[in-house]
Amino acid sequence: MSNQDALINTISTNFKKDQDEKGPDLRHLHPKSHGLLHGKFTVRDDISDAYKIGVFATCKTYDIWVRFSNGSSPSVRGVLKPDTEGDVRGMAIKLMNVSGDKVLDDEKETQDFVLINHPVFFLPDVQGYIDFATFQKLKASGQTPPQELLEKLKPSLAIVAEINKKMVANPLLIQYWSTTPYKLGSYAIKFLVKPHKMPTAIPDSPNYLREAIVQYFSETEETVKFDFQIQVQVDDLITPIENPMIEWKDTDSPPISVATIEIPKQVFDFAERKRLDESLSFSPWHTLPEHEPLGSVNLSRKKIYQEGAQHRREYIEKGMQEPRPYTSILDDPQQ
């Protein structure tokens, strides 16, 4: 086993342990949903022939599910971070009825794209997960992290602080980035999603991001639209594969529009949709080989996302088949 594989195994084990302690029926990553919405993903008819690859090969419209979320895992068992506190905001897109062999075999006809509201990731590599988890554990226990660790994590903590300062009024009206690179056939790309409309005032409620989407659809008949764009790698220096903390700047690799996302007015804030939301699994590895994730951070996600989803589903299924007493599951937010 390589050192990288060993690190990934450690990360996955730690994630599942934290999941067990803080919410085994919840996602460890992006557990708080602001809404699962249906929509359409339409591939443009004016794409350059060079980029007509995979789902972009032909002008076609796919049905999609889009999930908007906060990134932070529960602070204590079952308690999710309020929207009024700084956090990364996520957008996960699942294309339906996508034909062809997939990298993973747990979903046969889907293609996922996973994005956040910041152009770079906050960790440089797989080791960064271990270092950041160590930092968080020490802080949570009231201990001061060693200076060497603080120095090592200084760039990461700066990015986290920058993300947390972002003011988000409505998840439907902000920009999102993949942060990590992917294949487009023989090309390396990143992708981003740009809204057609910008937000206004920011409400003040622990769940205001879900409330903002509900309010938006109650007040307008407009379809929400995003441009789905790609950035093509220029070279390893200014657009690197292996360090997602380095931004691929628009000036170096201008975004190219390849599809349009449309989310129609809809009612989504009801129990059955929430149950569907919790049952879905989004992963950058739910993909055609033509769009396979690149880099070590994405490689770690392959195991972490798949095992985390399986772990969560097994817990829920086991609880339904053979319920356990309150004292054994400690289902108390104060514990």
Closest CA relative to residue 308, chosen from 109, 18, 78: 18
Alpha-carbon gap, residue 53 to 43, rounded angstroms = 11
For the chain, which residues make up each domain, given as ranges? 3-329
Count of H-run helices and E-run strands, the chain: 7, 9
Give the global pTM: 0.91
What mean pLDDT is predicted for residues 265-274? 93
Average pLDDT on 280-297 reads 95
Asked if pLDDT for residue 5 goes beyond 90, the answer is: no
Question: What's the rounded Cα separation, in Å, for the pair 303 and 210?
Answer: 30
Q: Which residue has the higher pLDDT, 87 or 128?
A: 87
Amino acid 171: pLDDT: 96
- 103-110 long-range CB contacts below 8 Å, 24 or more apart? 103/285, 103/286, 103/287, 103/288, 103/289, 103/292, 104/283, 104/285, 104/286, 104/287, 104/302, 104/306, 106/281, 106/286, 106/306, 107/281, 107/286, 110/286
Name residues whose C-beta falls within 8 Å of residue 165's C-beta, 6 or more positions apart in sequence.
Answer: 86
In three state form, how does the secondary structure of 16-63 look? Answer: HHHHHHHCCCCCCCCCEEEEEEEEEEEECCCCCHHHCCHHHCCCCEEE
pLDDT band at 201 (very low <50, low <70, confident <90, very high): low
Domain 3-329, what fold? Catalase HpII,  Chain A, domain 1 (2.40.180)
